[in-house]
Structure 1
Amino acid sequence: MNILISGGSGFLGSAFSHKILRRYQEMGRELQITWLTRDSNQAHPSDITMMTYDELTISDTYFDVILNLAGAGIADARWSDDRKEQLLASRMKPTEALLAFIARSHVKPKLLISGSAIGWYGNQGDKPLTESSGFQADFAHQLCDDWEQLARQATDSGVPVALVRTGVVIHPTGGMLSKLLTPFKMGVGGQLGNGQQIMSWISRDDWVAAVIFIIEQQLNNSAYQVNEDAQTARHTASNKDVKIYNLTAPNPVTNHAFTKTLGAWLHRPTFFTLPEFLLKLMFGEMSTLLIDGQKVLPQALLDAGFEFKHQTLKEALEQQVIKA
């Protein structure tokens, strides 16, 4: 199997690459991972092949699967107008490059997995949300929806699409947890606002396992076999070739519960509270990511038979963080 990844060197892409390479090696099966990059001199593991976006425009390499993860971190800076444009462009431009590659390829990939986030649902409080739920419009929703709508265009070339709406990914080497460990270890960690906002999370181990599960399940499903003739494929593709998956654990928690669970695991007090008005002053519009909750459930994964290794936050911290 041959897999192309945009954003391959990132927090999720690198973990996925390492895990699936090891998995296929243990099974005695061949697997080639290629990372898309804008820097031809970027450091990378020896078992990873690199390809620049310029090389992609002329490449005739066949990829069974394309994993599209490129995109600037939504919580890395305040949402100024310029930052919003950067967030959108960092997602749309790599996706456009991948779509152009797919469109001109004679032998099409069997699957495009394209990143998204649970921000697609907008602020809906503690209402349970599954893949069939609607949304509340806000910037996070629009950003995710623009990205998803663009990725869906791969079906015009006969390529099925899996959209993965990711929650808060838990692992000490990146994401939110890596930023919280230091203040919590210093004893100054605490809840945000009233602490009742729901946090839909997933361990990085389970995120990686879920993406591998989606690839193997969908490539083994005859309904996802793509006709190699581009013209025929174009006529047979439709919205039924798009599947949505919430990549979240089945047990979301309140921010208060998350705070207490993390503090207890680290054996540190959690007396502090950052009030809502201060969060809004510090982060502006982006504070919605901290103040407003979403109870997003992984119904599609559960229905497909995926088994989570870390079903509770306590398990994720004890079994994943302790080994890091």
Structure 2
Amino acid sequence: MNILMTGATGFVGQQLVKLLSEQSHQLTIVTRNISHATATLGGQHKYLDNLDKLNNLNNYDAVINLAGEPIVGKRWSNQQKQRICDSRWNITAMLTQLIKQSDTPPASFISASAIGFYGRQGSTPVDEDSQAHNEFSHQVCSEWEHLALKSQSENTRVCVLRIGIVLGKNGGALAKMLPPFKLGLGGPIGKGLHGVSWIHIDDLTHLIQHLLVTDEAQGVFNATAPNPVNHKLFAESIGASLNRPAVIPTPVIALKLAMGEMADLIVEGQFVLPKRTLASGFNFKYPDISPALDSILKA
């Protein structure tokens, strides 16, 4: 396939580029910094520094949209909230407009979202059909998804991925969590009862590939392993994989003081189930947390 891709230099994007390249797909990568992207991803791809240079997407078979300011990168000031929204909404709106302007549009548009769509849910499991709690993370994701789904037509199917915590080597959330665990100082947050909905990066990249080639797949799919865990078990599993204790809790108040409103993403959590993802025929290589972490931390 000839694929247009955004967000390729991110943690997930880099692994997806590697997988798609191994399958001989042709990639055009949209990036603000072509020299950095070329050094990171290789010179065999085409690069584009601005979508404004395109009038349509007639030459592409598929579009993959992973672009977005990291939602937990900085404290949520009003300015940072706007950056989080704009970085997702603007490029998604532009891609949808280009698809609509195409005489022979791409057959598929796969666009990222996040399980933040559901907002706080307590201990109640949720799937793709569940009602959301209206808060900032939901508002970001709801509009993000709406803008992508507007490009749906009889010629273009849209798949929206509500992505959980992505676990992999050398990046993502896990890399930020590991230092205290390696020192034997890790542990659950608060009582550790809140949900952790996670996915191994290999499963995420293969899920995207699965949706690319599954012609009947469209709509919303949870990109989370089928067995979410509470934070106590998650912390214990990290400790076990590292052969370190994981019993020192992080006080919730400390996180809230350090992170402000953004701490709710970590403190509240959700138990998200991939009902539609499994129904699409996708098989998870890592459905359970301990083998997933072992593959990353013991390899």
TM-score band, normalised by shorter chain: over 0.9
Q: Structure 2 residue aligned with 1:138, among 107, 116, 135?
A: 135
Partner Cα distance (2:272, 2:51) in 1:
38
Q: Which residue of 1 aligns with 2:210?
A: 213
Matches for 1:1-324 after TM superposition, within 5 Å: 1-22=1-22, 24-25=23-24, 31-44=25-38, 45-54=42-51, 56-58=53-55, 62-155=59-152, 158-218=155-215, 221=216, 242-323=218-299
**CA apart distance, 1:104:** 2.0
Whether the aligned pair in 1 keeps the contact of 2:4 and 2:28 (CA below 8 Å) is yes
1:244 is paired with a residue of what secondary structure? strand
Distance 1:60 1:159 in 2: 11
> Given residue 275 of structure 1, which amino acid in structure 2 is its aligned partner?
P
C-alpha separation in 2, matches of 1:297 and 1:194: 22
> Per-residue displacement from partner, 1:286-320 (whole Å, max 9, x unpaired)?
11111102110011121122111011111111223
Tell me if structure 2 keeps the 8 A contact 1:9–1:35. Answer: no
What is the CA distance between 1:188 and its match in structure 2? Answer: 1.6
Q: Secondary structure at the match of 1:34?
A: strand
Partner of 1:21, secondary structure, is helix
State the Cα distance separating 1:39 from its structure 2 match. Answer: 2.5
Q: Sequence identity, in percent?
A: 36
Q: Residue 307 and residue 262 in structure 1: after superposition, are their counterparts in 2 closer, same or farther (change >3 A)?
A: same
Whole-Å Cα distance in 2 between the matches of residues 100 and 251 of structure 1?
37
Gaps of 5+ in 2: none
CA–CA separation in structure 1 for the residues paired with 2:58 and 2:219: 26
Say which SS state the counterpart of residue 169 (structure 1) adopts.
strand
Distance 2:202 2:297 in 1: 11
Normalising by structure 1, report the TM-score.
0.87
Conserved 8 A contact 1:102-1:157? no
User: Given residue 85 of structure 2, which amino acid in structure 1 is its aligned partner?
Assistant: L
The CA distance in 2 between the partners of 1:277 and 1:165, in whole Å, is 28
Equivalent residue letter for 2:235: T
Stretch of structure 1 that moved more, 134-143 or 50-59: 50-59
Distance 1:207 1:194 in 2: 29
Task: Provide the rounded CA distance (Å) in 2 between the counterparts of 1:303 and 1:40.
Answer: 39
| CA distance in structure 2 between the aligned counterparts of 1:111 and 1:64, rounded to whole angstroms | 7
- Tell me, in whole angstroms, the C-alpha distance in 1 between the residues paired with 2:182 and 2:286: 23
Task: Verify the 8 A CA contact 1:118 1:246 in the aligned structure 2.
Answer: yes
CA apart distance, 1:20: 2.0
SS where residue 50 of structure 1 aligns?
Answer: strand
Determine which structure has more spread, i.e. the larger CA radius of gyration: 1
Structure 1: how far apart are the matches of 2:144 and 2:51?
A: 22
Q: Secondary structure at the match of 2:161?
A: strand
Report the secondary structure of 2:35's partner residue. Answer: coil
What is the number of residues matched between the two proteins? 296
CA deviation after TM superposition for structure 1 residue 42, in Å? 3.0
| Distance in 2 separating the partners of 1:40 and 1:281 | 38
Give the match's secondary structure for 1:183.
helix
